[in-house]
């Protein structure tokens, strides 16, 4: 069975490691990171050219199954995968890590977009910890009244806030490390996306009573969906029988 695995997420790499010895796995990475962590099996880097290009790729390479394990906010790629698989008649599985839920002691404010988060900032704080990725910094470029600590894997590009310090780092992160970072930079509000994962920064924010602006994730495609790489591997093995 030939499997196209979309995404460079932790879950995608784990799934590739679980099934690369059983199936022919091709992992497709967007190419936005210059030094990506490579999964087991074959790897292709770069886009497909929209729905038409992806559908052509599925036909030409005789892909049997597609697993969409992209980042929960990669809505365009997920939409293209859904439409291309429907056009070609290839089964699609969506692998999405669970989102976060607020608990006792959390001071969260859910918003629909980065723009809405930016609009709320002056009411929530002035020293901002941004963990929304480098491509989202433009939404905060006009906030000269705030100071930003922006963390990303790759250096950001303009437009971005004028008063900003960039921290280049890649997770996983620890609660102790996040707590120290927030205290050292005198952060008084955290802005992040509901991407799921360990959530060390959210625990640190709770402990330090820091408010959080949480951007809701877009809806996932209406396809078979699992939340762990192990469940995705089980689904693939059932298909491969």
Residue by residue, pLDDT tens for the chain (241 residues) are: 999 999 988 999 999 999 999 999 999 998 776 677 788 889 999 899 999 999 999 999 999 999 999 999 999 999 999 999 999 999 999 999 999 999 999 999 999 999 999 999 988 999 999 999 888 899 999 888 999 999 998 899 889 999 999 999 988 899 999 999 999 999 999 999 999 988 999 999 999 999 999 999 998 888 999 999 999 999 999 988 7
Between CA 75 and CA 93 the distance in angstroms is 15
Fold of 108-215: Rossmann fold (3.40.50)
Burial of 81-96, coded b for 16+ CB within 10 Å and e otherwise, reads bbbbbeeeebebbbbb
Same topology for domains 2-98+218-240 and 108-215, yes or no? Answer: yes
Token reading at 175: 């609660």
Per-position b or e across 221-231, b if 16+ CB within 10 A of its CB: bebebbeebee
- Concatenated DSSP letters for 188-206? -EEEEE---S--HHHHHHH
Q: Is this structure's pTM higher than 0.75?
A: yes
- In this predicted structure, what is the pLDDT of residue 40? 87
In sign, the C-alpha dihedral spanning 107, 108, 114, 120 is negative
The closest of 19, 37, 40, 84 to 231, measured between CA atoms, is: 19
The residue written with tokens 């906010």 in the block is 73
pLDDT number for residue 133:
86
Contact 24, 63 (CB under 8 A): no
Contact 30, 8 (CB under 8 A): yes
Homologous superfamily (CATH) of 2-98+218-240 is NAD(P)-binding Rossmann-like Domain (3.40.50.720)
Q: Please report, for the chain, the start and end positions of each structural domain, with discontinuous segments joined by +.
A: 2-98+218-240, 108-215
145 burial (CB, 10 Å; 0-12 / 13-18 / 19+) is exposed
| 108 membership: H or E segment, kind and range | strand 108-111
Sign of the torsion formed by the C-alpha atoms of 124, 129, 133 and 135: positive
Q: What is the pLDDT of residue 36?
A: 78
Closest CA to 78 of 87, 68, 66, 91: 68
Question: Nearest 10 degrees: CA dihedral of 102, 108, 111, 116?
Answer: -160
């Amino acid at each position: 069975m030939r499997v196209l695995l979309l995404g460079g997420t932790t879950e995608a790499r784990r799934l590739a490691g679980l099934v690369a010895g059983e199936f022919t796995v091709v992992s497709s990475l967007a190419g936005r990171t210059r030094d990506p962590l490579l999964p087991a099996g074959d790897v292709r880097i770069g886009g497909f050219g929209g729905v038409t290009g992806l559908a052509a790729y599925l036909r030409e390479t005789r892909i049997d199954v597609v697993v969409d394990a992209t980042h929960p906010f990669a809505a365009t790629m997920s939409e293209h995968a859904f439409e291309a698989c429907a056009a070609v008649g290839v089964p699609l599985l969506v692998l999405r890590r669970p989102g976060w839920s607020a608990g006792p002691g959390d001071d969260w404010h859910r918003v629909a977009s980065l723009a809405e988060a930016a609009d709320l900032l002056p009411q929530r704080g002035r020293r901002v910890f941004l963990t929304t990725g480098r491509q989202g910094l433009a939404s905060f470029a006009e906030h000269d009244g705030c100071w930003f600590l922006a963390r990303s894997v790759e250096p950001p590009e303009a437009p971005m806030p004028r008063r900003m310090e960039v921290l280049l780092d890649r997770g996983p992160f620890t609660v102790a490390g996040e707590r120290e970072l927030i205290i050292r930079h005198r952060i008084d509000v955290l802005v992040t996306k509901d991407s799921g994962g360990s959530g060390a920064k959210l625990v640190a924010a709770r402990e330090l009573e820091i408010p959080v602006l949480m951007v809701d994730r877009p809806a996932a495609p209406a396809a078979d969906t699992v939340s762990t790489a192990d469940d995705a591997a089980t689904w693939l093995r059932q298909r491969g029988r």
